[in-house]
Structure formats: structure tokens, C-alpha cells
Structure 1
């Protein structure tokens, strides 16, 4: 099988769940003797793919990039042009059986002709909550629908995502949608040292809109005021904005809520040492941090929205997303009971065994093979 893998997500993300998904899956697939994967990229700033063997090898170009970088000359434009040429040549040569787009830009439709492609749909949040994506929603929604209609097969990252697709677009054939879960990538690196507060609750990632960060902070404020030693770590998501700083000051908890940037190999320690991880998001197509938390033995408090119950199962402690009191109570019960924390940590460690990147890669490969066969049968 010859697969042409679209580079668009690796150009968009340095870190992120989508680029990690493709990196993990294709790192497994590319090692198979009967599969050839072409990712038309010479180099990338994406943290995951640049650590793999998926990039096209070119010693002369890499030497040039290193030389320019040494003199602090930007190579971004040059790298983009070289990769665009590589992609153009791949389309022109047509030496592949199937194309795998990595996001929703439909630029490739007039390039691949009649060749089949398989689209992965990560969530339906732009369709379900357009109020949070005023500027971007229309393009994502329009492009995603176009690609779902034209795709030979669709991979949904959870049964909840498949259900949402069918509910919003009943004309899309449910039989061409296959559900394939993500795996867990996170590891605890014992050689890495990270300084933590003695007692903290963990929040990870973006804090914008539907992620419900302010709701979480308002809910936990009584706990912070009752226990001066308790702190919140907001890992990643960028520095607090002026508006967020003022929000924390208004609640008089600014000294107990910390924002931390982290290196990839440090994240496991943030989970492992936390009292608990809180994921207050109103919707996720899958929710990789849920797996990360379980894999690190960190108990989780989260909503029952989206795919969360499907992923966390009985390893999650669920709260009413409309009740600050309920979230506060669930966190209080958990952090005040060490045995309960151990119980849910053990549940998480057992639950996360169900999610494996090797399994995901094998299932993706089966879908790609089915799509190629469907295309052949339709001729």
C-alpha cells in the first residue's frame, strides 16, 4: 500500500492532539514492510513529527538549514517553498493509492483526481457551539462538510463524535464512518526534575471559551481561601492575559493560581504529583488529557459532556457543568480523602490500557485498505 500523507497539520501545530495522532499512527504504519508512506516534508517545527523517521531525508538541504540557522537567518520561507515543491511533485507523479488529509483544508481535491481519501473527524464543536468560533466557524464547518461528503471513508475519534456527525448531517452514510480511539503517548521521565507546590490541583492546556476555565476557578475559589497551601497549576495554554490576571485579583486568589510552561517530557510529572486533574471543558471529541491523567495515576474530575464518559468510564468523577457548588464539592471530597484518590488513580491506570496507538494504527490501516478496495470496486 502506498499512502500520501497530507502535511497541513504539521505546518499549523508545534504541539497539539491532531498532529500527535497522525505522528503516532503513521510511526507504526510506516514500519510495516508492505506499506510505503510519503509525507512531503523535508523539515518541520512540529515537536512530534520531527522526532520520527517520517520526514523526507535530504542531507544537503538539512545542512543548508543548519548553516542559515547558525547565523540566525530564518529558514521558514525557504523550508515552506521546498516542501510545497515536494508536495506538488507527489501529486504530479500520482505514485500513491490513497491520500490522507490531516485537517479540513480541501486544497487537495483537484490534485488527487479520482483517488480515494480517508478523513478523520476529531469533533463537531464548530457545528455544536458556533458562538465560540465567530471568525473561524464558517470555514471549518463548510470545509469539513465538503470533505465528509467526498471522503471514501470517515474515521471518528469516538462514538460520540460519530453520533454527532449523523445527528447534524443525517445525509452522510453512517456505514462509511468507523470509530477508532486514540492511544496514550505520555511517559514519566524519572531523570527529569520539576519543582511543584506541595499541594496543587492541575489544569492543562487552552483556557479559552468552551474550555470553561473561569467556571473552574470560580468553583474552586472557596477551597483556595479555606486552605492557603492549596494551589492551582494551569499547565500550558500561554501566559495569563491581563484580563485573566484581573479576574484572579478580583477573587483575591492571584497568588494561588500559577501558570506554568512545560517541556513535553515534564508533563507526566505535573499529572503524577497533582491532587487531581480537573477537565471542565464543555465538549471534546475525545480528550487526550483524560488519557494522560489516567496513564500517570492522577484522578480526574470532569463533565459528562461529549466523549468524556466514553473515554474515562468509571475512572472519572463527574460533576454538573452548571453547578459551581457541585464541582467544588467533588474536588473537596477527592483531595480530602487519600484512599479515594488512590482508588480512582488505580481505576484510571486500568482504564487507560484500553487505549493503544498500535491498535489505533492497525485499525486505521484496515480502514485505508477498505477505502482502496471500495474505490477499485466502484470503477
Structure 2
């Protein structure tokens, strides 16, 4: 049996998000595998993916069930202490060497003094901090910590070929032979019968809109279309309310009533994809891009930039435009809006493409890599 010690770090620091979803999906998929034991020393977390997963039911949580229950009863003051104690518990297991392979969930190297000669497998989700440092001027630790762990890891998983290429270009001393590519998968429930309130005709934007997500570029590009089509809306799902810069542009645009922002529950997201004319993903860079597959799995055509990892993920099912080329984006959108046959063609292509990815495939590949270093 392979004993996998799963670092609690990302579940302590992230309430929701792609990285914590990745680990919960992988380990949920491995739950019934008799070849492995997953040790996840978390006494308290607000992470919604973890709390909805079976990880909470593993043997570690059962042994510590009284502390886990107390953390939920006394939310007023215990959570902070128990989050810290989760890392202390991980260090204790590291020192006792009661595991075969360690899996750090982010780039905190706190475990290095305790891991001794046991191996660890690092997943690198993207190289955005290195490629776009101007977006992270206040973050002085992620890049050096990541570099240190890349050097010391027994093996490295990257979530796309593009991320592997970026890593090797930035850190050329890294042996390419110790890097494995393991794609991610969509988590969306396309069968959920959730009704959402939305206009009849809208273009969808999902999630965070700041910095490299490129929302301001997207909005400026589609303003002429909105002005000529008063029955068309832009619906922004998630990402919280519009910020000051966005509001200023919206208020000056003359199409304020055609911009909608809605936060959503996970169970509602499929409804927004299914009703949309198309989903636009203008991001400058992503390590993978799970929303691309989410949209495709819901039969929603995807318009996206032809850069970073996107061609790997979308294949021939994506409708591509050149990064930051507003006229090309506008042209592609008008074609989609005016031609239902093209929309149907890309809906079918997307369903086929998204079907090539599953968390079972991802989990099986990760497990082989973990076992290879033991």
C-alpha cells in the first residue's frame, strides 16, 4: 500500500478555487483504491471543495473526529488555531516518517526540514508569477519558493504542455525527464435541473475579471456590438460586483443596462453556460483553463485567445482570436450571433472535446507518478 501525505496548505488558505478543486477531485477519484491510503491532516477548513468531498471522511479525520466537530461548534475562536494546528500535525507525520510520498498543495517549503529522504511530487499549475511579475509586485515569496521546490521535487506534474515549456524556458536547469503532463478535467454537473434568471440573449463571462483575465479589453471590444443590438447582454457570472474602473467604463459606454453581474452557486453555473449564446475567455494566460471545458460540456460555444494552453484544451472545438485583437474578437462574435448553424457546429464539437477529459484519467495518472517515486 502506498501512503500519500497530502499537505493541508491550500485548504487552509483558499476558500475555493482551481487548485483546491484539483486536489479534492483527484483524491475523491482515488477514494476506493485499495492500493493507497491518503493522509490529509486537516482539523479545520472553510474550503468548500474539501467540505463537499469524501476527504473529510478519511481515516485521519475519523481518528481526530472530536477536534473536527469542536472546530465546527466553536467557530468564534477555534478555526484560526486549528488551521495552524493542521500544519503542525503535518509536520508531526513528516517527522515520524509515517508516509511514502508527500504531496505539497502549494509552494510553501515549510516541510523541507522534516521530509528527510522521503520523496515529494510537486504540481506546477502555471508560470504566471514569473511571466507577468508586474501583476504580483506585492508577492515576494511565491517565485523563490516555487523555484526551490522545483529543484528539490522527485517529480513535477504540469497541467499542460504549455506550462511545461514555460517552466523549462524559465528554469532551463530543470531536467525535462522529471516533468509529467497531466491534464485537468471539468467538474460541472451538466444534469443539474437548476433554473436561473437570465436575459434571452447574452454573452457569458465567468469568474474573476481582474488583471490578466482581460475583462476591460473584452468589454471595450464588444461595446460596438452592444450599441447596435439592444436586445443583447453581457452577463458576468461570479467575480463579485463591478469595480471602480469597470463601473466608470460601463457608465460612460451608454449600454449600462446591458451589463449584468451575478454571483452564483456551483449548482447554478451549468444553467448560465447552457443559456448563453457563447462563452468568451479572453485571458492573457492560464496554466490550463477549466472553464473552457465547463462551457463545452454544457454545449456552449467558446470564443478564446489562441495562446498559452488554450489550443491544447479546446482543440478544434474553440473559436480563436488573436490575443488583444479587438477587431478579430468582434468579427468572431458577430459571426456567432448571426449564424445559428455555426453555433450548433461548435456546440457539438465542444461536447466531443470535453468528453476527452475526466478526473478519473487525471487521478490514475497522478497515482502512477506518486507510486513511481516510492
- Shared fold (TM-score, shorter chain, > 0.5): yes
What displacement does 1:168 show?
1.4
For residues 128-161 of structure 1, what are the alpha-carbon distances to aligned partners after superposition, in whole Å with 9 as ceiling and x for unaligned? 111221111x422111111111000000100111
Q: Distance in 2 between matches of 1:43 and 1:129?
A: 33
* Partner secondary structure for residue 302 of structure 1: strand
Question: Which residue matches 2:283?
Answer: 281
Q: For the Cα contact (< 8 Å) 2:8–2:87, is it kept in 1?
A: no
What displacement does 1:207 show?
0.9
Q: Distance in 2 between matches of 1:125 and 1:82?
A: 31
Out of 63, 69, 74, the position equivalent to 1:68 is 74
The 5 A counterparts of 1:99-114 are 99-114=102-117
Question: Which residue matches 1:249?
Answer: 251
Question: Which residue matches 1:152?
Answer: 154
Q: Distance in 2 between matches of 1:239 and 1:225?
A: 22
What displacement does 1:42 show?
2.5
The 5 A counterparts of 1:226-375 are 226-372=228-374
What displacement does 1:270 show?
0.8
For residues 169-203 of structure 1, what are the alpha-carbon distances to aligned partners after superposition, in whole Å with 9 as ceiling and x for unaligned? 11100000000000121112443221111111000
For residues 26-72 of structure 1, what are the alpha-carbon distances to aligned partners after superposition, in whole Å with 9 as ceiling and x for unaligned? 11223211200001013321111111221313442344234334xxx
* Partner secondary structure for residue 4 of structure 2: strand
Out of 208, 212, 217, the position equivalent to 2:219 is 217
Question: Which residue matches 1:24?
Answer: 25
The 5 A counterparts of 1:187-202 are 187-202=189-204
Q: For the Cα contact (< 8 Å) 2:299–2:347, is it kept in 1?
A: yes
Q: Distance in 1 between matches of 2:176 and 2:370?
A: 17
* Partner secondary structure for residue 54 of structure 1: helix
Question: Which residue matches 1:11?
Answer: 12
Q: Distance in 1 between matches of 2:335 and 2:39?
A: 51
Q: Which moved more, 1:74-83 or 1:102-111?
A: 74-83
* Partner secondary structure for residue 155 of structure 1: strand
TM-score, normalized by length of structure 2? 0.95
Q: For the Cα contact (< 8 Å) 1:277–1:298, is it kept in 2?
A: yes
Aligned length: 368
Question: Which residue matches 1:375?
Answer: none
* Partner secondary structure for residue 197 of structure 1: coil
Question: Which residue matches 1:45?
Answer: 46
* Partner secondary structure for residue 47 of structure 2: coil
Q: Distance in 2 between matches of 1:99 and 1:303?
A: 36
Q: For the Cα contact (< 8 Å) 1:182–1:357, is it kept in 2?
A: yes
For residues 54-95 of structure 1, what are the alpha-carbon distances to aligned partners after superposition, in whole Å with 9 as ceiling and x for unaligned? 1313442344234334xxx34322432442342233223211
What displacement does 1:103 show?
0.6
Q: Distance in 2 between matches of 1:362 and 1:161?
A: 20
* Partner secondary structure for residue 354 of structure 1: coil
* Partner secondary structure for residue 255 of structure 1: helix
| Structure 2 gap ranges (5+) | none
Q: For the Cα contact (< 8 Å) 2:190–2:297, is it kept in 1?
A: no
Q: Distance in 1 between matches of 2:156 and 2:292?
A: 24
Q: Distance in 2 between matches of 1:295 and 1:92?
A: 44
Q: Does 1:130 align with 2:136?
A: no
Q: Distance in 2 between matches of 1:67 and 1:26?
A: 27
Q: For the Cα contact (< 8 Å) 2:129–2:142, is it kept in 1?
A: yes
What displacement does 1:313 show?
0.6
